[in-house]
């Protein structure tokens, strides 16, 4: 009983250290290279071949197919990638994830503690955040192998147990059972890399003859196929609550691995012979980890080559399974771009936040434009429409702030990303202020119209002239947010004084009209509040332009 206890918790403890090391390595690599990987995904998806290359590079560098898959599903859901592009990247991610098994096939047991120590020193001594991330990656890499060593040491007694050997013989003789075991293992652990690592270590245990693997390559391949099916659960979970195309992307991931397993299950024996022929030669227990890694890589490359020219067919299949629904009008106050699953990948999350802020600011621009028409036509229905949109903007603002707070509290951002995110929050606060001020001006107009006061043609002309300047200023500042253009930002800052001069002039004009009896004196309070709102919207525009001059913009985030 004591031996069973030690074996069980030795395996669980080793697996826990391995998964912790794997996650830490992936997080550290994302901090060091996440921005570059996001750009690679954006640039290299112009055609399916480049999409596969992008998915392969991103996953190999970040050491996480789940990270790539979740990012792609987020982009497809937001409409930043087409379904075809997303599927091509997923195919590449399946190749990239095999690099983990290739790394694990190296025997570096004599250097594990050296690697852990070097990683610790680098992350502890150096102040640069990028170098710290590299140090943490090295440290996590060592932990990952230490977890494997622990699992390997506790598996040795299992290899000597007649009961266990008999059970393995049954599994090895029934490939479908091996696929089922691999699928269930990955569903439970939620990491194909972890289950493949366990498989490599288990297969490296010698059987009764002391030379042959306890399971052999023919017994390991079906389990490996099951691992590939089980890993698709991450994509399925990531697409819950997402758009139809995002769900189709996840379904394509499942189709890729399930069809691959169904195809290869009939050729386990010849496939095993082929892998043995192209892999390192030597005693089976010493080379089987590399053989499993090679079987994993070649399986994914082969299936990618089969499906790459047939992506159009894969698209048709997933669309047939998940057909298009009648389009419902989506609530405007529901974020389109924000995906909670991307919070652990700040480079992608920040791009989504930037796009959502630009969407929100576009709504405020519409409000300002509609207010101009409402003044011109003195139309209460248009006023009501603007006030309804103001409620939508406020709800959307609350959603964005909540998302940004979650991003800050996640602890996954670098210092530079945290600074950029703080800048986004600053811009967002001024956009929300512009919304509130436009709402105030609209409510003042509503008060004038409901009291049956009639704006004179001269008053309408003055208000529309002032609002047109504000609208142009706001539109220009939105462009500055996108581009970070310093010259345009300076022009907007200089316009602030012009707006103040204009509103003072318009106040004088109003008082003249009141004196002449052209305008009712009772609407003076509401009229001046409208002008005051114009002035303060101009200040908000100048604030955003000032921020752009200090480097706060979405230019780097949206690249």
Confidence of residue 271 (pLDDT cuts 50, 70, 90): very high
CB 31 within 8 A of CB 133: yes
Q: How many CB atoms within 10 Å of residue 402? A: 13
Domain boundaries, the chain: 34-107+159-321, 340-549
pLDDT at residue 326 above 60? no
Confidence (pLDDT) at 157: 67
pLDDT at residue 474 above 90? yes
The more confidently predicted of residues 32 and 206 is 206
Say if residue 209 is exposed, middle or buried (CB neighbours under 10 Å; 0-12, 13-18, 19+). exposed
Confidence (pLDDT) at 328: 46
Mean pLDDT of the chain, nearest integer: 83
CB 345 within 8 A of CB 34: yes
Confidence of residue 154 (pLDDT cuts 50, 70, 90): confident
The more confidently predicted of residues 555 and 450 is 450
CA distance 522 to 25: 69
CA atoms within 13 A on the CB side of 130: 6
pLDDT at residue 136 above 80? yes
The more confidently predicted of residues 31 and 215 is 215
**Across 57-61, 88-92, 438-442, which has the greatest mean pLDDT?**
438-442
* pTM, rounded to two decimals: 0.76
Confidence (pLDDT) at 216: 86
Q: How many CB atoms within 10 Å of residue 429? A: 15
pLDDT at residue 1 above 60? no
CA triple 424-426-428, angle to 5 deg: 70
Confidence (pLDDT) at 356: 92
Average pLDDT estimate for 195-210 = 79
pLDDT tens sequence across 330-378? 566 688 888 887 887 888 888 889 999 999 999 999 999 999 889 888 8
pLDDT tens sequence across 225-253? 988 888 777 667 766 766 677 788 888 88
Confidence (pLDDT) at 137: 86
**Would you say the C-alpha torsion 80, 82, 88, 90 has a positive or negative sign?**
positive
Specify the range with the lowest mean pLDDT, choosing from 6-15, 35-44, 266-275, 363-372: 35-44
Confidence of residue 390 (pLDDT cuts 50, 70, 90): very high
Confidence (pLDDT) at 34: 62
Confidence (pLDDT) at 430: 92
Burial readout 464-477 (b: 16 or more C-beta within 10 A, e: otherwise):
bebbebbbebbebb
pLDDT tens sequence across 99-121? 888 887 887 777 888 989 999 99
pLDDT at residue 329 above 50? no
Average pLDDT estimate for 27-34 = 71
CA distance 6 to 445: 77
CA distance 35 to 37: 5
* Phi, psi (deg, nearest 5) at residue 213: -65, 145
Specify the range with the lowest mean pLDDT, choosing from 164-168, 179-183, 255-259, 389-393: 164-168
Q: How many CB atoms within 10 Å of residue 164? A: 15
Average pLDDT estimate for 273-292 = 89
Confidence (pLDDT) at 32: 67
Which helix (DSSP H) or strand (DSSP E) does residue 419 occupy? helix 415-450
**Across 256-270, 340-354, 485-499, which has the greatest mean pLDDT?**
256-270
Kindly provide the residue ranges of all beta strands, DSSP E only, lying in 197-300, ordered along the sequence: none
Does the structural domain 340-549 have CATH classification 3.40.80.10?
no
pLDDT at residue 144 above 70? yes
């Amino acid at each position: 009983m004591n031996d069973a206890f030690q074996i069980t918790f030795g395996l669980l403890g080793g697996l826990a250290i391995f998964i912790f090391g794997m996650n830490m390595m992936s997080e550290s690599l994302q901090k060091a290279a996440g921005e570059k990987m996001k750009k690679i995904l954006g640039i290299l998806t112009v055609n399916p071949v480049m999409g596969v290359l992008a998915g392969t590079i991103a996953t190999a560098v970040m050491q996480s197919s789940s990270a790539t898959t979740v990012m792609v599903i987020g982009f497809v859901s937001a409409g930043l990638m087409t379904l075809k592009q997303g599927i091509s990247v997923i195919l590449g991610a399946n190749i990239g994830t095999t690099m983990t098994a290739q790394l694990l096939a190296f025997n570096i047991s004599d250097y594990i503690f050296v690697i852990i120590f070097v990683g610790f020193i680098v992350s502890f001594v150096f102040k640069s955040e990028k170098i710290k991330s590299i140090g943490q990656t090295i440290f996590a890499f060592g932990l990952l192998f230490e977890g494997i060593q622990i699992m390997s040491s506790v598996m040795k007694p299992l290899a000597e147990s007649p009961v266990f050997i008999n059970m393995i013989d049954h599994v090895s003789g029934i490939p479908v059972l091996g696929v089922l075991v691999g699928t269930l293992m990955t569903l439970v652990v939620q990491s194909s890399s972890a289950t493949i690592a366990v498989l490599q270590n288990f297969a490296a245990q010698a059987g009764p003859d002391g030379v042959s693997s306890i399971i052999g390559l023919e017994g390991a391949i079906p389990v490996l196929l099951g691992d590939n099916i089980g890993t698709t659960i991450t994509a399925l979970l990531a697409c819950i609550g997402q758009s139809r195309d995002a769900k189709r992307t996840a379904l394509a991931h499942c189709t890729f691995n399930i069809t691959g397993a169904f195809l290869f299950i009939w050729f386990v024996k010849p496939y095993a012979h082929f892998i043995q022929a192209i892999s390192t030669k030597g005693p089976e227990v010493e080379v089987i980890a590399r053989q499993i890694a090679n079987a994993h890589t070649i399986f994914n490359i082969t299936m990618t080559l089969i499906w790459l020219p047939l992506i159009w067919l894969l698209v048709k299949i997933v669309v047939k399974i998940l057909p298009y629904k009648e389009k419902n009008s989506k609530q405007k106050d529901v974020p389109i771009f924000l995906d909670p699953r991307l919070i652990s990948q700040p480079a992608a999350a920040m791009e989504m936040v930037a796009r959502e802020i630009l969407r929100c600011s576009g709504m405020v621009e519409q409000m300002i434009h509609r207010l101009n028409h409402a003044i011109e036509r003195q139309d209460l229905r248009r006023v009501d429409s603007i006030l309804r949109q103001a409620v939508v903007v406020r709800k959307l603002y609350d959603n964005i702030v909540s998302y940004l707070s979650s991003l800050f509290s996640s602890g996954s951002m670098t210092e530079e990303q945290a600074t950029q995110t703080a800048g986004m929050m600053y811009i967002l606060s001024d956009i929300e202020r512009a919304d509130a001020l436009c709402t105030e001006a609209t409510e003042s107009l509503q008060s004038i119209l409901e009291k049956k006061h009639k704006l004179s043609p001269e008053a309408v002309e003055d208000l529309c002239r002032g609002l047109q300047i504000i609208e142009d200023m706001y539109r220009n500042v939105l462009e500055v947010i996108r581009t970070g253009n310093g010259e345009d930002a300076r022009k907007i800052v200089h316009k602030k004084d012009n707006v103040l001069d204009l509103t003072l002039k318009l106040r004088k004009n109003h008082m003249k009209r009141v004196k002449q009896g052209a305008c009712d004196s009772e609407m003076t309070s509401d009229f001046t509040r409208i002008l005051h709102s114009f002035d303060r919207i101009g200040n908000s525009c100048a604030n955003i332009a000032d921020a752009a001059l200090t480097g706060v913009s979405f230019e780097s985030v949206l690249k």
